[in-house]
Amino acid sequence: MPSELVELSGHIIDSWTLPRAWDIIMDRGGNFVVEEMRVGIRKTEPSYARLKIEAPDDDILELILSELQQFGVVLMHGADAQTMAVEQNGVLPEKFYSTTNLPTQVRVNGQWVSVEGTEMDVAIVIDRIKSSAFSRPMHEVQVGDQVVIGHDGIRVQPFERARERDAFAFMQSSVSSEKVKVLAIHEIARQMKETRAHNGKILFVLGPAVIHTGAGRYVADLIRRGYVQVIFGGNAIVTHDIESALFGTSLGVDLRSGEQVEGGHRNHLRAINAVRAAGSLEKALETGLLREGIIYEVMTRNIPMVLAGSIRDDGPMPGV
């Protein structure tokens, strides 16, 4: 049975990091043995745990390790971070490591090196000659860049819960929607029918929430029925629509069950990477990579689509 030794350190008990790690291991079909554990006696003292993780196969073990690294779990065998060279400008190797927004270090030439400019959802490029590492967005990688892949030689420093703050506070969100939406929806539907009856055109302005909430299939159906003549959107709507078409997820959440998918946090980047490797949205359609979804319906019906980008977009998706 595949196994891996890992360690956690810090305020892993009062921040619930350790029990959350145990839950992930068991929920994903693995098991664990606590080989060593030291509990900090005072508030300022860190705790330490060494676990042996076992899984039914290598794929499940890889998924478990991928999720655990977000909690600061470190593999103990001491190997350097693995890399693979970029073969096409703007396209990452298939098993690229996707960063979080947490401080991250990678092991280079036997030493832990801080990743420069860490931000969410980018790749890590290593310069072994200079023993340095830096983050790089997908669209900026160049042929020959050594991109970190897999889970070896990576450690993340998780945020720890402030002791003076309650772990849970009821109704603290600044956004609370309690208004009835049914009447507004019926009125919009009535106006859409009336507009089309007079050969009018309907513009849809779409954001990623359409996909996150599972409403993408309904918009696709409206397109098939002829209720959409123009679409305005951005990188996110295209990215998550194609993520849902390829993997059945949006931001890593299964759109049918509502459950988080193991390793799914990087699915939107995998979707972008796949289309960039194909060359364009049109090529993705021609090759059969794209077979369903909003973008599929739009492109097969030649519906005008205006996509605006920003400097913070992941990827971006070709065409944005």
Q: Is the pLDDT of residue 163 over 60?
A: no
Tell me the average pLDDT across 250-257: 88
Higher-pLDDT residue of 172 and 278 is: 278
CATH number at residue 200: 3.40.50.10690
pLDDT-derived band at 252 (thresholds 50, 70, 90) equals confident
Residue 159: pLDDT band with limits 50, 70, 90? low
* 202 and 226, same domain (yes or no): yes
- Residue 184: band (very low, low, confident or very high) from pLDDT cuts 50, 70, 90: confident
Question: What's the pLDDT score for residue 161?
Answer: 55
User: Alpha-carbon distance 86 to 257, whole Å?
Assistant: 35
Distance CA 4, CA 52 (A): 6
Spatial separation of the C-alpha atoms in residues 247 and 255, rounded to whole Å: 10
Rounded mean pLDDT, 162-170: 45
Q: How sure is the predictor about 176, in pLDDT bands with cuts at 50, 70 and 90? A: very low
User: Does residue 128 surpass a pLDDT of 60?
Assistant: yes
Is the pLDDT reported for residue 22 higher than 50?
Answer: yes
Nearest to 122 by CA among 93, 96, 142: 96
> Are both 268 and 279 inside the same structural domain?
yes
| Structural contact between residues 126 and 106, judged by C-beta atoms closer than 8 angstroms | yes
Residue 170 lies in a domain: no
pLDDT at residue number 179 = 52
d(CA 276, CA 263) in angstroms, rounded, equals: 21
> 294 and 194, same structural domain?
yes
Residues 193 and 299 in one domain: yes
Tell me the pLDDT tens digit for each residue of 300-316: 999 999 999 888 888 89
Tell me whether residue 144 is in a domain.
yes
**Predicted local confidence at residue 168, as pLDDT:** 43
Mean of the per-residue pLDDT values of the chain: 87
How many CA atoms are closer than 13 Å to the CA of 174, on its beta-carbon side? 0
Instruction: List the single range of 154-168, 181-195, 232-246 with lowest mean pLDDT.
Output: 154-168
Residue 195: predicted pLDDT: 94
CATH number, position 48: 3.30.70.2690
Calpha distance 207→240 (Å, rounded):
10
pLDDT of 299 reads: 95
pLDDT at 169: 41
How many residues make up the chain in this entry?
Answer: 320
Please indicate, yes or no, if residue 313 is contained in any of the structural domains: no
pTM of the predicted model over 0.85: no
- Do both 143 and 204 map to the same domain? no
- Number of separate domains in the chain: 3
What is the mean predicted confidence (pLDDT) over 256-282?
88
Question: Which range of residues forms the domain containing residue 54?
Answer: 1-77
Residue 305 pLDDT: 94
Q: What is the rounded average pLDDT of the residues 73-87?
A: 87
Asked whether 183 and 263 are in contact (CB, 8 A), the reply is no
Domain C-terminal end among 46, 77, 108: 77
Q: Percentage of residues in the chain with pLDDT exceeding 90?
A: 54
CA distances from 60 to 27, 63, 66, 250 (A): 11, 5, 10, 21
SS3 per-residue string spanning the chain:
CCEEEEEEEECCCCCCHHHHHHHHHHHCCCEEEEEEEECCCCCCCCEEEEEEEECCCHHHHHHHHHHHHHHCCEECCCCCCEEEECCECCECCCCECCCCCCCEEEEECCEEEEEECCCCCCEEEEECCCCEEEEECHHHCCCCCEEEECCCCEEECCCCCCCCCCCCCCCCCCCCCCCCCHHHHHHHHHHHHHHHHCCCCCEEECCCHHHHCCCHHHHHHHHHCCCCCEEEEEHHHHHHHHHHHHHCEECCEECCCCCECCCHHHHHHHHHHHHHHHCCHHHHHHCCCCCCCHHHHHHHCCCCEEEECCCCCCCCCCCC
Query: Residues of 79-116 as b/e, b for ≥16 C-beta within 10 angstroms?
Result: eebbbbebeeebbbbeebbbbbeeebbbbbeeeebebe
Look at residue 177 and tell me whether its pLDDT is greater than 60: no
Instruction: Find the distance separating the first CA and the last CA of the chain, reported in whole Å.
Output: 45
Task: Provide the CATH number for the domain around residue 84.
Answer: 2.40.420.10
- Give me the mean pLDDT over the 266-273 stretch: 92
